Structure 1
Amino acid sequence: MPELPEVEVSRLGIEPHIKHQSVSKVIVHQRQLRWPVPEQVSLLEGQVISAVKRRAKYLLLESPLGTAILHLGMSGNLRVVAQDTPLKKHDHIEFHFANGLALRLNDPRRFGACLWQGVTEEHSVFAKLGPEPLTEAFTAEHLYAASRGKKVAIKQFIMDNQVVVGVGNIYANESLFKAGIHPKREAGKVSLQRYERLTPIIKETLASAIKQGGTTLKDFAQSDGKPGYFAQELLVYGRKGEPCVSCETTLKEIRLGQRSTVYCPQCQR
């Protein structure tokens, strides 16, 4: 599943091609995605895209009349192509623009979404989301207060979108290693001092991934729409059985919340 940096790079990739462009047509080839595509999405026709934003893993195509909300699900991707480009299998939705380009949502497993939000409302998918990790609203004090009395493992705690959005499996592994925190430690037993170390590390880890992804995305309109997981120097994720980069202890793997969790038993306490 694309994580926050991958979704942000998708946003950066499509924005130059569709921002300030008028939508000439909305074509829905498959209405049955994770949720049925609402008819109101066609209200974008004739509207100018005023902004391309991201909230958690949702992309928002804003217009004066309302906002189309896109989610890539488990396997979805967005492509910017010429409107006469032949459709690919699993191209479910197209947004045509006055500049001759089309934005296409391709999703083989149909776990993605296309929703609609009016200008005076907030869609229910945003109702319980925590703060964005790259904003000032995400602080050590926020994590510390939210964790009091929680027995859940710290890794699962920081991956909870009601606590903070967008800290997916890869970046939770990496951040906890850098902070020296064992992924199974109870969130409620992590001190404020350790949260003060962890919070900026989460921010730096995500920001670095976005920067790396942006540098690999030379021309989104000519790509396959899959920025993917960037070629990063991952310290623990995917390195089970290899030596720790800090102490050379063999990295171990466990399952937390049915997700692969790799850590150093020496460096992380």
Structure 2
Amino acid sequence: MTGLLAALGVFSVLPVPASARTPGPGVLRWLPVVGVVLGALAFVPALAVWRGAEQGAPLLAAALVVGALALLTRGLHLDGAADLADGLGSGRPAEQALAIMRRPDVGAFGVAALVCGLLVQGGALAAVLGESSPGAGLVVVLLATTTGRVAVLHAAARPPAAGSSLGVLVAGAGSPGVRWTATVLLVVAAAGLRLLAGGSAADAGWAVAAVLLALAAAAALTAHAARRLGGVNGDVFGAVVETGTTVALVVLAAGTTWT
């Protein structure tokens, strides 16, 4: 529980005891559990304006979920995605790109990444909620928030970039046993929960596809960032969370069209 509380203290605004706020080795391995907690909490506001397919306002509900996730994480991952977009978009060598990412301001690439990412997340989730029951909607949000964070476990296997202070967070989290166990559990949960929420076998297949394609997209981003920056850092992790979440929602939205 100490590791989970530390992860909640580092990666969310949820109150935890002061003694648990210092991250220790392996705290990153709790990030998928944090994703489950945050997804469940972010889904609650949606129920004020949406009660299932054709019952309420799915677009507003999706906007509330996306906004709640940003608030619950202090915008931590969004900030990382914006910084990485500015750094990679600059086309500069690794050292200069990292310096750009450390600046407090957000450039044009960062703004574009934030706006496009949030619009796609909200639009994709709205499409899913427009065809879902409350239970299925909750499953979709949980899968998206958890997948983005399981992707970070795979990114943690990369060496840190110059000047990164990820040593304590990454220790023990990037081991093959941790990341592949989390991946297998996520894939099984994607299919099982979708079926339990009243979905068909095709819906379960789309859920599994959403997880796998999101992890693949996040892995491609990680590889590109590590090649350009000489390793990974907190901004890369933030961008990986947002990329995994977004791709998972887009694939799940596609499933509502083709099933």
Higher RCO (Cα < 8 Å, 6 or more apart):
2
Structure with the higher strand share, 1 or 2: 1
TM-score (norm 1): 0.29
Structure with the higher helix share, 1 or 2: 2
TM-score (norm 2): 0.30
Q: Tell which structure's C-alpha radius of gyration is larger.
A: 1
